[in-house]
Amino acid sequence: MLKYAMRYYSTRNRNENVNFAAAALTGLAPDGGLFVPEEIPSYPEAVRSSLGTMDFRDIAFETIKPYVRDEIPDGALADIVQSAYTFTAPLVPAADRFALELFHGPTAAFKDFGARFMARAFSYLRRGEARPLRILVATSGDTGGAVADGFFDIPGIFVTVLYPKGRVTPLQERQIAGLGGNISALAVEGSFDDCQRLVKAALADDGLKKKTALSSANSINISRLIPQAVYYAAAAGRAFAGRTDPDGDATPRVKNLSTETAMRPGQPVTLCVPSGNFGNLTAGLYAMKMGAPVNQFIAATNVNKTVPDFLESGDYKARLSQATISNAMDVGAPSNFERMAAHFSWEEMRRLILGVSVTDDETRETIVRVHEQAGYILDPHSAVGWKGVDKLRAENKIAEGPAGVLCTAHPAKFSETVEPLVGAPPVPASLARAMERTVNARTIPADIAVLIDVLHNISM
């Protein structure tokens, strides 16, 4: 455990380093790189040995604490954690594996874990600050809704969400652009990669920086990535202890069919991560290095398989993204690969991560099959992860021990895809309320000059 304050350096210049507050509130390093911690701390032995039985919020406190030491006191951090995590991440059996359900938060997606902590941390770090903060965020679907919800009505902070016009679901669009207040939305005529490029360029614009403080809320921001390590540690600890959780209110289990999941305490878990921008998997790698009992990771992508191809060949080739039914993963140039490469060599990544890609047809087939065989409804992203496990098991590439799939969004968020295949999934109350909102977004071209002009004229 660190006994001093953590420092953060840019992936492009290790000699320049800042504290957590500067890394979080700045978002992107001045040289365009991403902030990473100078080291990944280890859990104290008492914590590591108790991950299977600890309360989720206690795990959150112990996971985040070394990263914010001397900047967020323990009492304030405990308050932030208690306020942010009014929900947990159940690890439930489904067929022959575990489902780590990350959709029990207010926007029914895993982004709630990072966004809610981030909003409260920003509020604490900016206490007494008179100058307003403008947060810019690019989203391929779920990030925008989670950030909008997390920061809604936070005093002194204004959020602008950029999303690819026509490439998010109607529900996602209502979550992104239906709150109003301190949340504004821009529908970009382009892809998620265009949105991400625009955000990075705007964050580096001197004119905007003179007008207002700027930051980001994508997984390029370290304060959103670190809290995502929490659910990996909690899930791996419970699996290692041979424990599962009961179904939660939002669990999309529609039939009580028997499961084949064998609980064998003492075995590290393999976790399959549906992957797009690779912030989620990077957080998992942090949890593993801290001491969570994870055997290996699977990076399951759709046809946007830049990282699986890299793991296979050692040659990283960013490319234009292709639209799929798992739209939140339609990323051809994943930002967080830069973080992964800063921490791990190609050889190390190949030891820690198996890569696999899944087509839309395979995704649809998996949703149907899991519904029939397990009585469980997957959203398209979680189905990519499920099929990824199937493929690698068929090739005998997965290590012995329990296997879990990160279920990153509730299937009701993707009813346009899911309902024709298996019928209407149950709708959590939070999503039913969101569907009643009216979309209020401005459409802009994928042009940085236009974006900067719009941002200069959005009221704060």
Sign of CA dihedral 82, 86, 89, 93: positive
- Say if CB 291 and CB 44 are below 8 A apart: no
Mean of the pLDDT values across residues 176-185? 96
Provide the CB-side half-sphere exposure for 110 (13 A, CA).
32
Which comes out higher in pLDDT, residue 211 or 87? 87
Beta-ladder partners of 101: 407
In the structure encoding, which two tokens stand for residue 268, read together?
A: 């590290």
* Most confident option among 10-19, 148-157, 303-312, 330-339: 303-312
Q: 3-state secondary structure string, 384-449?
A: HHHHHHHHHHHCCCCCCCCEEEEECECHHHHHHHHHHHHCCCCCCHHHHHHCCCCCCCEEEECCHH
Is residue 258 predicted with pLDDT exceeding 80? no
Confidence of residue 27 (pLDDT cuts 50, 70, 90): confident
Instruction: With cut-offs at 50, 70 and 90, classify the pLDDT of residue 318.
Output: very high
pLDDT over threshold 60, residue 73: yes
Per-domain boundaries in the chain: 87-108+224-427
Confidence of residue 259 (pLDDT cuts 50, 70, 90): low
Q: Is the pLDDT of residue 355 over 80?
A: yes
The pLDDT of residue 215: 86
Residue with tokens 């999503």: 431
Q: Which residue has the higher pLDDT, 206 or 353?
A: 353
In the chain, the N- to C-terminal Cα span, in Å, equals: 41
Confidence class for position 260, pLDDT limits 50, 70, 90: low
Confidence of residue 399 (pLDDT cuts 50, 70, 90): confident
The band of 239, judged by pLDDT with boundaries at 50, 70 and 90, is: very high
Mean local confidence (pLDDT), 279-294: 97
**Is pLDDT at 4 greater than 80 in this prediction?**
no
The predicted model gives 381-397 an average pLDDT of: 97
The pLDDT mean for the chain works out to 93
pLDDT at residue 342 greater than cutoff 80: yes
Number of helical (H) and strand (E) elements in the chain, helices listed first: 20, 14
Query: Is the pLDDT assigned to residue 257 strictly greater than 80?
Result: no
For range 417-444, the mean pLDDT: 95
Residue 315, pLDDT > 90, answer yes
Instruction: Report residue 51's pLDDT band, with 50, 70 and 90 as the boundaries.
Output: very high
Q: How confident is the model at residue 213 (pLDDT cuts 50, 70, 90)?
A: confident
Mean pLDDT on 187-199: 93
Residue 1 has pLDDT above 70, yes or no: no
Question: pLDDT tens, 91-146?
Answer: 999 999 999 999 999 999 999 999 999 999 999 999 988 888 999 999 877 789 99
Query: In Å, what is the CA distance from 145 to each residue of 412, 426, 453?
Result: 15, 20, 24
Cα 54 to Cα 313: distance, rounded to the nearest angstrom: 40
Of all residues in the chain, what percent carry a pLDDT higher than 90? 81
The residue among 445, 132, 407, 389 whose CA lies nearest residue 270 is 389
CATH architecture of 87-108+224-427: 3-Layer(aba) Sandwich (3.40)
Tokens 């365009």 label which residue? 32
Taking the C-alpha atoms of residue 158 and residue 17, their distance in angstroms, rounded to an integer, is 27
Res 169: pLDDT: 85
Percentage with pLDDT > 70 across the chain: 98
E strand residue ranges, 190-284: 213-216, 269-274
